[in-house]
Chains A and B, each alone.
Chain A
Amino acid sequence: EVELLESGGGLVQPGGSLRLSCAASRFSFSNYGMNWVRQAPGKGLEWVSGISGGGGSTLYADSVKGRFTISRDNSKNTLYLQMNSLKVEDTAIYYCAKDRRKTTVSTPDYWGQGTLVTVSS
C-alpha cells in the first residue's frame, strides 16, 4: 500500500517561509505525478500545486503562484513545497497526494495524513 508522510509544518509569521517535505514509499515514485492539496480549518479542499513524474512540468493555483515552488528528488523519493511570503490565509493542513498520471496531474489518488501550517503573528 502506498505510503506518504508529510513533515515540515509549524507556526510561522506572516511574510515568512517554510519548506514542506513528503516522503513516499511502496510505489515507483518517479512514475507518477504528485500534488499538494490544502484544507483551511473547517473549510474545503484546495488544490495548490502539481508536478510531473520527471519533475519537468510544474503547475500552481493562482492563489500561490509566484510564492510557492514545488519540486521533487526522485533519488530520495521525496516531494517538496517551498512556501515563501506566507500569508494568514495560507493557514491550513497541507496534504501530499500521489496522482494516477505520470506526465501531468489530474487525479490525486493516495493521500498522506497532512501537516499543519499556521501563519500568525
Chain B
Amino acid sequence: QSALTQPASVSGSPGQSITISCAGTSSDVGGYNYVSWYQQHPGKAPKLMIYEVSNRPSGVSNRFSGSKSGNTASLTISGLQAEDEADYYCSSYTSSSTVVFGGGTKLTVL
C-alpha cells in the first residue's frame, strides 16, 4: 500500500493551465478506472473534484479535467484562478480492495 507519487508543488499564473501528475502501478492506477482527485483548502475538509478518472461531480467547474495513461493519472486545471490555490490529492482503488492516496501537491497561483 505505497502512496501514489505526486509532485510536491506546482505553480502557475492566473489564466494559465497546469497539470498535476499521479503515478501508481498496475495494481492501482493502471488497473482500475477508480482514480479520484480532491481539493483541500487550509483547515477545510477535502472536496471531490474528479472521480472515475475524468468525471466531474455536479457543481465542479469544467476548468477541472482528469485523464489517465497507463499507470499515471493527471489533473489539469485551465484558466487558473486565485481560488484554485490549494492542496490537491489523487486517490485510487487498489487490487487489495483498499484505497490509496497520493502524497499531495501544493498549487500556488502566482
A residues with CB within 8 A of B? 35, 37, 44-47, 50, 59-62, 95, 100, 104-114
Report B-chain residues with C-beta under 8 Å of the C-beta of A112: 45
Known: A44-B3, A44-B89, A45-B38. A106 touches B99 (CB 8 A): yes
A59, B45: Cβ atoms under 8 Å? no
Known: A44-B89, A45-B104, A47-B91. A108 touches B98 (CB 8 A): no
Interchain CB contact (< 8 A) of B46 among A60, A95, A104: A95
Kindly state the separation between the CA atoms of A95 and B45 in the bound complex, as whole angstroms: 8
Report A-chain residues with C-beta under 8 Å of the C-beta of B91: 45, 47, 107-108
- Encoded as 1 (CB less than 8 Å from any A CB) or 0, chain B from 22 to 42 comes to 000000000010101010100
Known: A44-B89, A44-B104, A62-B1. A107 touches B46 (CB 8 A): no
Kindly state the separation between the CA atoms of A50 and B51 in the bound complex, as whole angstroms: 18
Kindly state the separation between the CA atoms of A95 and B38 in the bound complex, as whole angstroms: 14
Known: A45-B38, A47-B101. A107 touches B57 (CB 8 A): no
A35, B99: Cβ atoms under 8 Å? yes
Quick check: is B93 within 8 A (CB to CB) of the other chain? yes
Report A-chain residues with C-beta under 8 Å of the C-beta of B85: none
Interchain CB contact (< 8 A) of B1 among A45, A61, A110: A61
**CB proximity of B25 to chain A, nearest CB, Å:** 16
Quick check: is B69 within 8 A (CB to CB) of the other chain? no
Interchain CB contact (< 8 A) of A107 among B1, B3, B52, B89: B52
Kindly state the separation between the CA atoms of A35 and B93 in the bound complex, as whole angstroms: 13
**CB proximity of B42 to chain A, nearest CB, Å:** 11
Known: A109-B48, A114-B45. A59 touches B1 (CB 8 A): no
Among residues of A, the one whose C-beta sits closest to the C-beta of B3 is A44
Among residues of B, the one whose C-beta sits closest to the C-beta of A105 is B99
A45, B34: Cβ atoms under 8 Å? no
Known: A44-B104, A47-B98, A61-B98. A106 touches B93 (CB 8 A): yes
**CB proximity of A23 to chain B, nearest CB, Å:** 15
A45, B46: Cβ atoms under 8 Å? yes
